[in-house]
Amino acid sequence: MENQRNISGFILLGLSDNKNIQMFCFGLFSFCFVALLVGNILILISIFCSPLSQQPMYYFLCHLSFMDICYTSSVTPRLIDGLLEGTKTISYGYCMLQVFTMHFFGCIEVFIITAMAFDRYVAICKPLHYMLIMNRTNCHLLVFAAWVGGAAHSFPQLCMTIRLPFCDSIEIDHYFCDIFPLLRIACTDTYITGILVVANSGIIALVTFIVLFISYAIILFHLRNHSAEGRRKALSTCGSHITVVILFFGPAISSYLRPPVTFPEDKVMALFYTIIAPMFNPLIYTLRNAEMKNAMRKVWCHKSFVQQESHTIICCEVNLA
């Protein structure tokens, strides 16, 4: 603990020392972050301002969009700032905050994606009981359970990280603070801690992925009894969810369900589940969803029409005056 108190911060080595690569990454990730913010904010406003907000699937989609913003914002602004300014230092407190927020919001997102899969399972396999099972109270409970699960996952991770002693080595071979890179520079035996991290993060990701895989397999099995139009609609919606699951869980499982060591490829894999996958979520849920596209068209076209009418009325009043 005395060694730990002597550490005021760390040095994040980032993605590359090459200035050209840094500027390219700065432009790319700045675009990705802005696209993520704009896309998810559009989804939130479109759902809240339309009747879709009363449907369970879009209720969960609102929470997923909010989690995408929180999850990526815990890492990406610091990455962009480091690429632009060349700042590599990060304080000890901010590093620990990154560890907590990454696992907290990430775990909540995992459980919300699971809740969305459960919603699709009930809608397709038990349509007559759908409104009874997926009433607003149960939806609130599922979201609350996701937050509780996120806290139950992230607080032990934070406690294990805070207890790590650090000596002279303060260079983290990553672009954000995560547990495996911190275990590598800790000046103590971290074998047990590494096993606990794998058991916590890796097993959660794997078990959730298996549950999602089984649920979608059951859904696809039940679709054989539906009409061609019903199968098309259900596959369109489920296809969006499956795409999100693959983009998010594939890299996450590869990063955490393995021996507690670090590899150069870890930073590339982390880009997928921290930036790339959350950025694609708005596109996946809008471009492949007719209801979402219609809701966005009605909300934003209506707003444009109202603004145009207001401008016309103001001009007429000015002319009359």
CATH number of residue 279's parent domain: 1.20.1070.10
Residue 303, in any domain of the structure? no
pLDDT at position 148 is: 95
Taking a C-beta distance cutoff of 8 angstroms, is the pair 238, 221 a contact? no
**Neighbouring residues of 129: CB distance < 8 A, sequence distance ≥ 6:** 122
Taking a C-beta distance cutoff of 8 angstroms, is the pair 179, 220 a contact? no
pLDDT at position 261 is: 65
Can you read off the two tokens belonging to residue 178? 């995560």
Where in the sequence is the domain holding 72, given as residue range(s)? 9-286
Residue 46, in any domain of the structure? yes
Question: How many CB atoms are located within 10 Å of the residue 122 CB?
Answer: 18
pLDDT at position 195 is: 85
Residue 3, in any domain of the structure? no
Residue 185, in any domain of the structure? yes
Taking a C-beta distance cutoff of 8 angstroms, is the pair 60, 139 a contact? yes
Q: What is the Cα–Cα distance from 91 to 80, expressed in whole angstroms?
A: 17
Q: What is the Cα–Cα distance from 219 to 183, expressed in whole angstroms?
A: 41
pTM, two decimals, is 0.83
Q: How far is CA 245 from CA 84, 205, 242, in A?
A: 32, 11, 5
Taking a C-beta distance cutoff of 8 angstroms, is the pair 299, 55 a contact? no
Taking a C-beta distance cutoff of 8 angstroms, is the pair 270, 29 a contact? no
Q: What is the Cα–Cα distance from 16 to 83, expressed in whole angstroms?
A: 9
pLDDT at position 46 is: 84
Question: How many CB atoms are located within 10 Å of the residue 118 CB?
Answer: 19
Q: What is the Cα–Cα distance from 43 to 244, expressed in whole angstroms?
A: 16
Residue 316, in any domain of the structure? no
Residue 297, in any domain of the structure? no
**Neighbouring residues of 201: CB distance < 8 A, sequence distance ≥ 6:** 103, 153, 157, 179, 256
pLDDT at position 140 is: 93
Residue 1, in any domain of the structure? no
Q: What is the distance between the terminal CA atoms of the chain, rounded to a whole angstrom?
A: 76
Return the SS3 of 201: helix
Give the number of domains in the chain. Answer: 1
What's the average pLDDT block by block, 10 residues per block, for the chain (321 residues)? 61 82 88 90 85 85 91 90 80 90 91 89 86 91 94 91 83 85 84 84 85 84 72 70 79 76 74 84 71 70 50 40 44
* SS3 per-residue string spanning 254-286: HHHCCCCCCCCCHHHHHHHHHHHHHHHHHHHHH
Taking a C-beta distance cutoff of 8 angstroms, is the pair 260, 53 a contact? no
Short-list 276, 283, 277, CA closest to 25? 276
Residue 321, in any domain of the structure? no
β-strand 171-172 against 9-12: which pairing, if any?
parallel
Q: What is the Cα–Cα distance from 289 to 293, expressed in whole angstroms?
A: 6
